[in-house]
Amino acid sequence: MTSSGTATESAFIDRIRPRLHHKLRPLFNESSRCLPILQSTCQQILNHMGPQSSAASLAQVISRDHGLTCKVLQVANSIAYSPQQTIVSVPHAVSWLGLDTVRSLVAAAHLVEQLHHWPIRQQEFQTLIAKSLISATYASELGASIGYPQPGQLFTNTLLYSIGDLAVAYEDPDLFLALQAISKKTKLPSECVLQETRLIGVPRLTLAQALAQMWKLPDELIELFRHAEELPMGRWQSEAQTYRGIIAGSILLVEMLTDPAPRAAREEAKKMLQVGSGLSSGLFTDLTIRAMDRGRQLIRSMGLSIDSSDEPIPPPTEMNATGAIPHPSPKNQTVGSNQTVVPPNDEPAAPIQTKPLETLLAFQNSLQAAKDLNSLLGACVQSLHQDAGFHRVGLALLNQSDSDLLVGKLVFGGTPPAHYLRSLSGSLSREHQFFLTVLKRVDPLLVSNFSDHKPETLKQDFLEVWKPTSAIVAPLRVGAKPIGLIYCDRSAGSQPMQPQDYQAFQLFFAQTTLGINRLAGIL
């Protein structure tokens, strides 16, 4: 930085300091409590994102920190990042995730570490950092999808975009909340700037620009703060428009998706990004789902959450326990009744054993008739119960925008069904670690004895409701992407699963996999 540049920055700070709210003026004093904390955090983030940061050096940094090692391995093993294998070493995680993603994780960890400096209003700060991490992930994914030359730069600058808000929050939490309220309630940018100026003396981004200059943040980020005009509309025509459109647009979209916002406003934010990037509707939708999913895995690994966006799994009811998946009534029982299904002692052979060709042909016809994934999976689960002879069959699907969440969708042979569905639902990383390992597989797994598995890898509610002894558990995939799983057993206390049970299941499973990929257009 030249002396003239330093003088210009100093003059800019001197010009806005007298206009600032008196509670924020200490931000420009060297004795400010906030100054060394956030400035050092910014520098650590930039160091890890710089050219001197290599895969080997990052792996060493991570390996020396047990907490950081756990965070990186958790993200690497989430379905969002690693759908088909289990990663157990830091070097493997770095090579699998890629340098930009790992740099992002390390950089984000530095920011999250500063939370302990805020003794009050922890939730507001956590939410702000969590939204910044999701926005940064979205910006990086969008940049990579359109071939932006430095998607890691997009992540860094999107993450640092909130540094001014954090500084205000540190000095005075009430002013921070008041600024947040202005951005949520005011639609016109010009009116928003006016209200911010009335509240703190200068526009919010003007304060951020001054802090960025003082902390020697990247020039392109300072330019982003300096030009607070409306987002670029239409197709982005230059690198500067693309840079601004991705960062500002990602922040706006994530804000709309994670806070209660009118549907029209959310759709407008999506349209601005889609038109600007030039992506087709299908590609943009896939990008949004993937980016939000990966962003959620990232904030979860940091111990953060966004209350308004972490949609709770609705408790299933006996009247509507399966969501959109049709629940055809089995021939020999009424699902949802209060009768517990107990297999007879002299149970007749299943249709797949007595009439294998006719049974498989009827099953194939039912799959061919399915017009969507829900009806196809409904037909599969019903046939496994009625035609393959499994007493209890459960279907659970991954939440589309948060693949750490498993949601029970359909059950045959367990009553009341709501209890069984609820026990299948939950977080893979915290409650269903065993099911997470199943989802990494390609082939079905025959579990001879559930007591051989560590209790902490199985959700307690699942153990209490299903009382599993022996079962078959299989991952459902669209191409290489897991979408859920199927659980089958002979009911509690029944005989263990036999090889012939596994062979019968394989017949139905293979046809179901073909049907899923046919509907997805892969086959």
Q: What is the pLDDT of residue 522?
A: 76
Query: Does residue 502 contact residue 470 with C-beta atoms inside 8 Å?
Result: no
Q: What is the pLDDT of residue 231?
A: 73
pLDDT bin (cut points 50, 70, 90) of residue 218 is confident
Query: Does residue 244 contact residue 153 with C-beta atoms inside 8 Å?
Result: no
Domain boundaries along the sequence of the chain: 21-301, 351-519
Q: How many C-beta atoms surround the C-beta of residue 454 within 10 A?
A: 8
415 closest CA partner among 436, 394, 396, 433: 394
How far is 244 from 292, CA to CA, in rounded Å?
Answer: 20
pLDDT bin (cut points 50, 70, 90) of residue 333 is very low
Q: Which residues contact 5 (CB under 8 A, 6 or more apart)?
A: none
DSSP code of residue 396: E
Q: What is the pLDDT of residue 233?
A: 79
pLDDT bin (cut points 50, 70, 90) of residue 188 is confident
Coil, strand or helix at 126: helix
Any idea which residue has 């060709």 for tokens? 357
> What's the one-letter identity of residue 192?
C
**50-54, 164-168, 414-418, 464-468: which range is least confident on average?**
50-54
How far is 270 from 249, CA to CA, in rounded Å?
Answer: 8
CATH fold, domain 21-301, is: Hypothetical protein af1432 (1.10.3210)
Average pLDDT over residues 229-241: 82
How far is 514 from 520, CA to CA, in rounded Å?
Answer: 10
Query: Does residue 408 contact residue 423 with C-beta atoms inside 8 Å?
Result: yes
408 closest CA partner among 314, 319, 488, 511: 314
Average pLDDT over residues 93-97: 88
Q: What is the pLDDT of residue 434?
A: 95
Query: Does residue 173 contact residue 297 with C-beta atoms inside 8 Å?
Result: no
CATH fold, domain 351-519, is: Beta-Lactamase (3.30.450)
Q: How many C-beta atoms surround the C-beta of residue 390 within 10 A?
A: 27
**pLDDT tens sequence across 21-30:** 999 988 888 7
**104-118, 205-219, 276-290: which range is least confident on average?**
104-118
Instruction: Say if residue 199's pLDDT is above 80.
Output: yes
| pTM, full prediction | 0.81
